[in-house]
Amino acid sequence: MLLFDSVEALFGHVDFSNAICLVIDINLGHRSGIDLRRHLLEEGVTTPVIYVTGNDSPAHRSTAVESGCVAYLTKPFTAQSLIESIERVRSGLG
């Protein structure tokens, strides 16, 4: 598992080939996690994404699903729900 303390640090990472998925918060302060996902897709990064959010709304959920996420988890969520989402991606069901 790799953790990035900023969007810029994630952008500096060049090899996503071994990543099972990316877990991205929808609210990254000055930037949207959904916009981050779109930017990564434009750069050719197609690694599956799991979104997490503490600010659930129908608009966020709809936009997240449209961006191609494999899971949308609302805080607080259980560790088991995150593990199950990652396992679905890993087994090709995500």
Quick one: average pLDDT of 64-72?
94
Please give the distance of CA 92 from its chain centroid, rounded to a whole number. 16
Cα gap 79→25, rounded to integer Å: 15
Helix (H) or strand (E) holding 54: none
Q: Is 90 exceeded by the pLDDT of residue 8? A: no
52 touches 77 (CB < 8 A): yes
Please give the distance of CA 91 from its chain centroid, rounded to a whole number. 17
Quick one: average pLDDT of 56-67?
94
Domain 25-90 has CATH 3.40.50.2300: yes
User: pLDDT tens, 23-57?
Assistant: 999 999 888 999 999 999 999 999 999 999 999 99
Q: Model's pTM, two decimal places?
A: 0.90
